[in-house]
Amino acid sequence: MSIQHHISDTLLLDYASGNLSEGWSLAVATHLALCPTCRRRLDAMEGAAGALLDKIVADHPVSGSDWEKMRARIACEPASGVTQRKPEVARAQKAAVPTGVIPEPLRSYLGGDVASLKWRALGRGAFQIRIDTGDPATQVRLLKIPAGKPVPEHTHEGRELTLVLAGSFTDGDDLFARGDLEEADGDLLHTPTATEGEDCICLAVTEAPLKFTSWIVRLIQPILKI
Partner 1 sequence: MSLTVSILAPTCHNDQKASARSRSTVKHGARMKRTDKTQSETELSPAQFAVLLAKVGQERDVDAFETIFRHYGPRVRSFMAMKTRDTQMAEELMQETMMAVWNKATQFDPARGNASAWIFTIARNLRIDAFRRKRPVFDENDPAFVRDDVAPADLELEGRQDAELLRKAMETLPAEQLDVLKRAFFDEASHSAIAEDLGLPLGTVKSRIRLAFDKLRTTLEGKR
Per CB under 8 A, contacts with partner 1 among 26-55 are: 26, 29-30, 32-36, 39-41, 43-55
Task: Specify the residue, 30 or 193, whose C-beta has the smaller distance to partner 1.
Answer: 30
CB of 191 to partner 1, least distance (A): 26
Binding of partner 1 by 123 (CB under 8 A): no
Binding of partner 1 by 135 (CB under 8 A): yes
Cis peptide before 105 (omega within 30 of 0): yes
CB of 150 to partner 1, least distance (A): 28
Q: Which of residues 92-111 bind partner 1 (CB under 8 A)?
A: 93-94, 96, 98-107, 109
Q: 12 and 38 in contact (C-beta within 8 Å)?
A: yes
CB of 198 to partner 1, least distance (A): 18
Task: Specify the residue, 167 or 192, whose C-beta has the smaller distance to partner 1.
Answer: 167
Task: Specify the residue, 90 or 189, whose C-beta has the smaller distance to partner 1.
Answer: 90
> How far is Cα 142 from Cα 119, in angstroms, rounded to an integer?
9
Distance, C-alpha 178 to centroid of its chain = 14
Q: 100 and 178 in contact (C-beta within 8 Å)?
A: no
Map residues 138-167 to x or -, x wherever contact with partner 1 holds by CB under 8 A.
Answer: ------------------------------
Task: Specify the residue, 25 or 193, whose C-beta has the smaller distance to partner 1.
Answer: 25
> How far is Cα 103 from Cα 26, in angstroms, rounded to an integer?
11
**Given 1, 65, 118, 134, the residue binding partner 1 (CB under 8 A):** 134
Distance, C-alpha 28 to centroid of its chain = 3
Q: Which of residues 172-211 bind partner 1 (CB under 8 A)?
A: 179
Q: 223 and 193 in contact (C-beta within 8 Å)?
A: no
Helix (H) or strand (E) holding 24, with range, is helix 22-34
What is the per-residue burial (b if ≥16 Cβ within 10 Å, else e) of 198-218?
ebbbbbbbbbbeeeeeeeeee
The count of residues interacting with partner 1 (CB under 8 A) is: 82
Which window, 10-18, 121-129, 184-192, 211-219, contacts partner 1 (CB under 8 A)? Answer: 10-18
Q: 206 and 137 in contact (C-beta within 8 Å)?
A: no
> How far is Cα 93 from Cα 160, in angstroms, rounded to an integer?
35
Binding of partner 1 by 117 (CB under 8 A): no
Binding of partner 1 by 137 (CB under 8 A): no
